[in-house]
Structure 1
Amino acid sequence: MVAGETSGDLLAGLLMGGMKVCWPNMQAAGIGGPRMAAQGFEAWWPHDKLAVRGYVEVLRHYRGISRIRAQLAERLLQQRPDAFIGVDAPDFNLGLEARLKAAGIKAIHFVCPSIWAWRGNRVKKIAASTDHVLCLFPFEPELLRSHGIAATYVGHPLADAIPLQAPRAAARAALGLPEQAPVVAVLPGSRRSEIAMIAPVFLQTVALLARQRPDLRFVLPVVPGLRELVEPLLRQHAPDAPLTLLDGRSHEALAACDVTLIASGTATLEAALFKRPMVIAYRMNGLTWQLMKRMAYQPWVGLPNILCRDFVVPERIQEAAQPATLAADVLAWLDAPARMAAVTGRFDELHHLLRRDTGRTATDAIAQILDQS
Structure 2
Amino acid sequence: MNNTLPYRLAAPGEGRVDLLVVAAEHSGDQHAARMVRGVLAAEPDYRVCALGGPALAAAGAQLLEDLTAQSTMGFAVFGKLSFYRTLIAEVVRWVGEHRPRAVCFVDSSGLNLRIAKGLFEAGFSAKAGGPTKALYFISPQIWASRAKRRFAMAQHLDGLASIFPFEREVYADTALPVEFVGHPFLAEDYAAPVRYDPAGPVLLLPGSRKGLVKRLFPVMLEAFARLDGRHEAMVLYPSDGILDTLRACNPPDAVKLVKTGGAAVGASAVLTTSGTMSLQCALAGIPGVVTYKTDPLTYWLGRMIVKVEYIGIANLLLKEEMYPEYIQGAATAETLGRELQSALTDQARQQRTWAAAKRLQDLLSADAQRDVTAWMLAQLAE
The TM tier, using the shorter chain, reads 0.7 to 0.9
Residue of 332, 348, 371 corresponding to 1:361? 371
1:33 pairs with 2:45: no
Deviations 1:87-135 (A, max 9, x none): 0011111121231423341011111110111121222221222111110
Alignment equivalent of 1:60, drawn from 54, 72, 79: 79
- For 1:1-373, what aligned pairs fall within 5 Å after superposition? 1-54=21-74, 56-98=75-117, 99=119, 100-101=124-125, 102=128, 103-160=130-187, 161-162=189-190, 181=199, 183-209=201-227, 213-225=228-240, 226-233=242-249, 235=250, 238-239=251-252, 242-249=254-261, 252-253=264-265, 256-355=266-365, 361-372=371-382
2:8 counterpart residue number = none
TM-score, scaled relative to structure 2: 0.85
How large is the RMSD of aligned CA atoms in angstroms?
2.4
Using the TM superposition, give the Cα deviation of residue 8 of structure 1 relative to its aligned residue in structure 2, in angstroms.
0.9
Secondary structure in 2 aligned to 1:185?
strand
Higher RCO (CA < 8 A, seq sep 6+): 1
Contact residue 15 and residue 157 of structure 1 kept, 8 A: no
The farther-off stretch of 31-40 and 44-53 is 44-53
Secondary structure class of the residue paired with 2:171: helix
Asked whether the equivalents of residues 37 and 60 of structure 2 are also in contact (C-alpha less than 8 Å), the reply is no
Shift, 1:153, TM fit: 0.5
- Structure 2 partner of 1:174: none
Letter of the 1:135 counterpart: S
What is the DSSP-based 3-state SS (H/G/I as helix, E as strand, rest coil) of the residue aligned with 1:38?
helix
Letter of the 2:186 counterpart: A
Distance 1:262 1:166, change over 3 A: closer
Partner letter of residue 152 of structure 1? E
Q: Structure 2 regions of 5+ residues with no counterpart?
A: 1-20
CA distance in 2, matches of 1:26, 1:130: 22
The DSSP-based 3-state class of the residue aligned with 1:12 is helix
- CA separation of 1:192 and 1:163: change in aligned 2, threshold 3 A: closer
Distance 1:69 1:358, change over 3 A: farther
Count matched residues.
Answer: 352
Q: Structure 2: how far apart are the matches of 1:165 and 1:53?
A: 23
Question: In the superposition, relative to structure 1, how do residues 312 and 186 fare at CA in structure 2: closer, same or farther (>3 Å)?
Answer: same
- Alpha-carbon spacing, 1:288–1:34, altered in 2? closer, same or farther (3 Å): same
Alignment CA distance shift 1:349-1:201 (3 Å): same
Whole-angstrom distance in 1 between the partners of 2:381 and 2:275: 35
Distance in 2 of aligned mates of 1:80 and 1:138 = 32
1:15-67 Cα offsets, whole Å, 9 max, x none, are 2233233323222113111111111111111022541111x211101111221
How big is the shift at 1:147?
A: 2.4
Counterpart residue identity of residue 50, structure 2: G
Which structure has the highest helix share of the two?
1
Q: Give the Cα–Cα distance (whole angstroms) in 2 for the partners of residues 324 and 361 of structure 1.
A: 44
8 A contact 1:131–1:150 mirrored in 2: yes
Q: Quick check: 1:165–1:274 contact (8 Å CA) kept in 2? A: no
CA distance in 2, matches of 1:327, 1:250: 28
- Cα distance in 1 between the residues matched to 2:332 and 2:182: 35
Counterpart AA for 1:186: L
> Gaps (5+ residues) in structure 1?
170-179
* Identity across matched positions, percent: 27
